[in-house]
Amino acid sequence: MNTIVLKLSNAQLDQLKTHYATKSVPNKNPYTLFVAKKNGVTITGYTSGKVMFQGPNAQSEAAKWDKAQASIKPNDNKNSPQKTSAVATHLPKDFSKKSIIGSDEVGNGSYFGPLVVCAVYAAKENLSYLKKIGVKDSKMLTDKEIRQLAPKIAETVPFQKLVVTPEKYNEIQPKYNAVRMKVALHNQAIYLLQQKIAPTKAEGILIDQFTSEANYKKYLRQEKNPVTTDLHFITKGEQYHLAVAAASILCRASFLEELEKASKNLGFLLPSGAGNKSDQVAAKILQQGGINLLAKYAKLHFANTKKAEKIAGF
């Protein structure tokens, strides 16, 4: 099965959602904006801005939207030749079988809830067990599966998790743009994990790519303890090593837990993502306690804040 992934703008995502509205199918994944099926192709739009096209006609369907950005991901059929995107070719040979530190983040595209970054050291002797218990891309798992897997992962591999609450996020956001903040968090998680596993050294570090390598390293120079060696960057990193997949699961489990706690504190459900539902809930919080209360639960620099203020009559 071919899998094509595009990184699109919010305007393009809205276009896709409207275009495929008549072909939409139900979904309960909080990180999914929409799922549709057309001509044997499953189209999934994520809050991260990525759109995945899966099926035998995935390439032609994806090309309608952004042919230049289409990249073929690993084929799920183990018996057929695997195709990878060009960006994967720089990874060392047999990279997926090596002892690697992988890092990922969750919550960056959600108005409510924290930003969570996690680094995992998956030694080669643990890879078969991680695969056996079902570790894979967290977006392909249900919330229930995520919560069942996270404790098993935590018991098996060393990890370092950093949770930035919305309150803390709003405090540092004016000084740190979104990319610089994530660079700082990824680097810190990796650095602290390296200290945990010392004197053991990973055979490489794989970061689920959120900016160019040059941009990452530019911001890295501003960090106190920059990790600069054996770094590799690739989008959809969980496709290329289980360390990133495990990190993604631990991140999302923590994000879900924090969002659930916040919902209990407020007495109503806080949605993930940054859609219209978030605007409505934010307006409700504003009416209860103003911007100071909202700042405890939401990332205020999102456009949702202005929309919520209009709804609330502020």
Which residue positions form the known binding site for a divalent metal cation?
104-105, 208
Report the distance separating Cα 23 and Cα 39, nearest Å: 10
Look at the block and give the residue holding tokens 């992962």.
Answer: 153
- Indicate the annotated binding residues: 104-105, 208
Print the SS3 string covering the chain: CCEEEEECCHHHHHHHHHHCHHHECCCCCCCEEEEEEECCEEEEEECCCEEEEECCCHHHHHHHHHHHHCEECCCCCCCCCCCCCHHHHHCCCCHHHCCEEEEEEECCCCCECCEEEEEEEECHHHHHHHHHCCCCCHHHCCHHHHHHHHHHHHHHCCEEEEEECHHHHHHHCCCCCHHHHHHHHHHHHHHHHHHHHCCCCCCCEEEECCCCHHHHHHHHCCCCCCCCCCEEEECCHHHCCHHHHHHHHHHHHHHHHHHHHHHHHHCCCCCCCCCHHHHHHHHHHHHHHHHHHHCCCECCCCCHHHHHHHHHCC
Rounded Cα distance, 116 and 112, in Å: 12
d(CA 295, CA 109): 16
Q: Are 52 and 4 in contact (CB under 8 A)?
A: yes
Sheet with 71-72, strands from edge to edge, namely 32-38, 41-46, 50-54, 3-7, 71-72
